[in-house]
Amino acid sequence: MRILAIGPLWRGSNAGGLFRALSRNGCLIEVLDEFYFISLLTKTKLTKILERVIRPLQLNEFNNAIKAKIKLFKPDVVFVYKGAFVYPATLQFAKQNNCKIVLFYPDVSTTAHGVNIPASIPLYDLIFTTKTFGITDMQSKYGAKNTSFVPHGFDPEIHRKHTISPDDKKNFGCDVSFIGTWSPKKELWLSILKQKCPEIDLKIWGEQWFKANNTAIKDCIQGTAVLGDLYAIAIQCSKINLGILSEKIAGSSSGDLITSRTFHIPGSSGFMLHERNEESVLYFKENEEAGFFDGPDELVTKVKEFLNDDSTREKIRLAGYARATADHSLDARADIIINQLKSL
């Protein structure tokens, strides 16, 4: 099966990890990475202004590159990861060239990332979503008929055991960590944790935490994301890794029930304390393969409990790692995806 995969390849990217897993499972893969065409990571005001000016030109170049690659590579499937920058007309071009077009959508909301995703969803032959509620959202909003749930997984090339150096311990070692993008809910819950447990060493990694106003966590915010190997190292260096989920936002019927961290943390051999819901407990057994909590009050209770019981925490960490490696790698997800692609 020839697959033209469209999405980012940076080290630690969920998209890149899935593309490599599809390759390991026997697919012939060609990748177009939007980061080669579209500048997205600049920080200064001037460069952001210039980006907005040239963005239409970058988008046109990117979509023209997809068309050129379709002509040369002649894929059976054009596999789009998220697809915020893929024009509907480009997907129509793929269809005209006898390609099946498939979307892998990893986010909560389909309307939070521009106009191309909502306009394109009705065109896809098959849609994979990492959210169980994403199936009904896409059916009710867009009339999508062929949708399938596939959860995130961990990337065995990235989320793995590392040898931890003294510098790693110094830079990343802590009692409790949260790694993820800021949101009001996450700020509130972490602030409650720090206020009620001021003695704990809490580290917060991720983007947009400059938006946080609560002084309780000001000194805990590290001011940067950790990616790739450093992400796995940060997980290993934290006694407790928190899985606090994103809340419901515009364009979705639910907040997160699981996320990529649900599998990255145990896959990296870290101890996970995850928000409890009807879905999250399906993947790891509570108090055997992961810890769980419901709301900020139980979060505080569980953090105290697990920090004071090294042996139980270690037993759960090892069992969680074994469960992740047995069942929840991106290779296992790729196998499911390939079987469904064959049905097209």
Q: Tell me, yes or no, whether 158 lies in a domain.
A: no
Cα–Cα distance for residue pair 179/259, rounded to 1 Å: 12
Residue 39 has pLDDT above 90, yes or no: no
Ramachandran assignment for 149, one of left (phi > 0), alpha (psi -120 to 50 degrees), beta (any other)? beta
28 and 122 belong to one structural domain: yes
140 and 211 belong to one structural domain: no
Share of the chain above pLDDT 70, in %: 100
pLDDT of residue 144: 92
Q: What is the tens place of the pLDDT at every residue in 241-258?
A: 999 999 999 989 999 999
177 and 310 belong to one structural domain: yes
148 and 204 belong to one structural domain: no
Residue 107 has pLDDT above 90, yes or no: yes
Range of the domain at 73: 2-153+329-342
Tokens 């970058």 belong to 58
11 and 148 belong to one structural domain: yes
Cα 283 off chain centre by:
16
Residue 147 has pLDDT above 90, yes or no: yes
At 162, is the pLDDT very low, low, confident or very high (cuts 50, 70, 90)?
very high
pLDDT of residue 43: 81
If one counts every other C-beta atom within 10 angstroms of the C-beta of residue 276, the result is 18
